[in-house]
Amino acid sequence: MSMQRFEGPLQANLTEEVAAALGESARRLRRALDALSEFDAIASTGRGQSSHARRLDLVLEAGEKLWGYVVQRELVGLRDAEYIREQYRVPDEVWRSMGPKARMRKLS
């Protein structure tokens, strides 16, 4: 699927805004996934303090960012979730935790 195409100056500005928002959402997801990966790498060496609660927070944060990115992509007609899974190497546990305010679910 492809994004809707706009014609004219106003529509061109809208397209730029949509692209910028989608790009920022992708960067947020990347940062969250990188933080989780870095935590796991440090924990696997035994150098850092391994905390199950901290790791869960990182997974839930990444799940929330993933949800935001998926929703934004779907709003512009990009509905291929497999692209996200492959390009960002999203772990299954992050997919399972995907959702708004995922960190609040931890408290329930």
pLDDT one-digit tens code per residue, 4-57: 565 677 777 777 888 899 999 999 999 999 999 999 998 888 776 668 889 999
Contact predicate 70/82, CB 8 Å? no
Read off the pLDDT of residues 77-108 as tens digits, 9 standing for 90 and up.
999 989 999 999 999 999 999 988 655 655 55
Contact 56, 107 (CB under 8 A): no
- Predicted TM-score of the model (pTM): 0.80
Residue 62 has pLDDT above 70, yes or no: yes
Q: DSSP string of the chain?
A: --PPP--SHHHHHHHHHHHHHHHHHHHHHHHHHHHHHHHHHHHHHT-S---HHHHHHHHHHHHHHHHHHHHHHHHTT---HHHHHHHHT--HHHHHH-STTHHHHHH-
